[in-house]
Amino acid sequence: MRTLHLAHLYPAEMSVYGDRGNVIALRQRCAWRAITLHVTPVAPGDQVDWASFDLAFFGGGQDSGQALIAHDLLERQGPGLRAALEDGLTMLAICGGYQLLGHYFLTHAGERLPGLGVLDIHTVGGKQRMIGNIVVETKLGEQTVRLVGFENHSGRTFHGSGVRPLGRVLVGYGDNGEDGRGGAVDRNIYGCYLHGSLLPKNPQLTDHLISLALKRRYGPQVGLVPLEAQLELQAQQTMLGRLLKRFA
């Protein structure tokens, strides 16, 4: 039986809008393949051996939650986490967690929160709150997938040249409501604003993240055993049908 290890960053401070469901989905789709996924919560002040992890999840939170953990993220976890991400650690970050992976987050109150700097993005708080269902079209390997989710953010995230967009926004606001970009990818780091939660609604992305982690741990020859997702895909297609009527 294969084993993977996942670090859940700051679950008490940074896990809103159903984001814990992403960890549940990863664990369950691993279990159905006889892969044991060990989940370790990372709290402020913890000593962490980042080289021991295969996956990391960083959920969303309010500005106040981000302020509580920003110093710990940079000063205590920063060096080890940066090195692990450079070495191919697979990470999914949502909303507030996504923002803190960038260079900085300038809140609507004018407070500048420095980020980890592992994604070439920065975020500026705005007065308009961008709320609603969202569809982002992306490529996962050779497969084109339309991801569904729910966004709720006032921060507007802008990309530098060092990242590529996760995908193209078909419905919703996306990262900033201006350029049609939804999320960012660099190495095995995936960040976006899709709550709801993201992975139970999109098993294709769940399996893609598990596959990346398996290949890093056990070698590029390791493939992911196919797994049925009939009910999940039916739910996904139902939402896409409702949201993409204007594309018909």
Q: Over the stretch 202-224, which tens digit does the pLDDT of each residue have?
A: 999 999 999 999 999 999 999 89
Q: How many domains does the chain have?
A: 1
Query: How far apart are the C-alpha atoms of 16 and 10, rounded to whole Å?
Result: 11
Higher pLDDT residue, 248 or 39? Answer: 39
Is the pLDDT at 247 greater than 60, yes or no?
A: no
Query: How far apart are the C-alpha atoms of 92 and 202, rounded to whole Å?
Result: 13
Query: How far apart are the C-alpha atoms of 233 and 201, rounded to whole Å?
Result: 8
Query: How far apart are the C-alpha atoms of 130 and 174, rounded to whole Å?
Result: 8
Structural domain containing residue 92: 2-247
Supply the mean pLDDT for the chain: 95
Q: How confident is the model at residue 246 (pLDDT cuts 50, 70, 90)?
A: low
pLDDT at 108: 85
CB neighbours (10 Å) of residue 149?
Answer: 24
Q: Taking residues 198-204, what's their average pLDDT?
A: 97
The number of CA neighbours under 13 Å toward the Cβ of 229 is 22
> What torsion, rounded to 10 degrees, do the Cα atoms 13, 17, 82, 203 define?
150
> Is 192 tagged catalytic?
no
Percent of the chain with pLDDT over 90: 88
> Is 30 tagged catalytic?
no
Is the pLDDT at 17 greater than 80, yes or no?
A: no
Q: pLDDT digit string (tens) for 122-175?
A: 999 998 999 999 999 999 999 999 999 999 999 999 999 999 999 999 999 999
Is the pLDDT at 248 greater than 60, yes or no?
A: no
> Among residues 8, 122, 195, 208, which one is catalytic?
195
pLDDT at 182: 98
pLDDT at 89: 98
Q: pLDDT digit string (tens) for 95-118?
A: 999 999 999 999 888 889 899 999
Q: Does 156 show up as a binding residue in the annotation?
A: no
Q: Taking residues 46-72, what's their average pLDDT?
A: 90
> Among residues 95, 122, 153, 192, which one is catalytic?
95
Is the pLDDT at 64 greater than 60, yes or no?
A: yes
Q: Assign residue 129 the CATH number of its domain.
A: 3.40.50.880
Contact 92, 57 (CB under 8 A): yes
Query: How far apart are the C-alpha atoms of 141 and 78, rounded to whole Å?
Result: 29
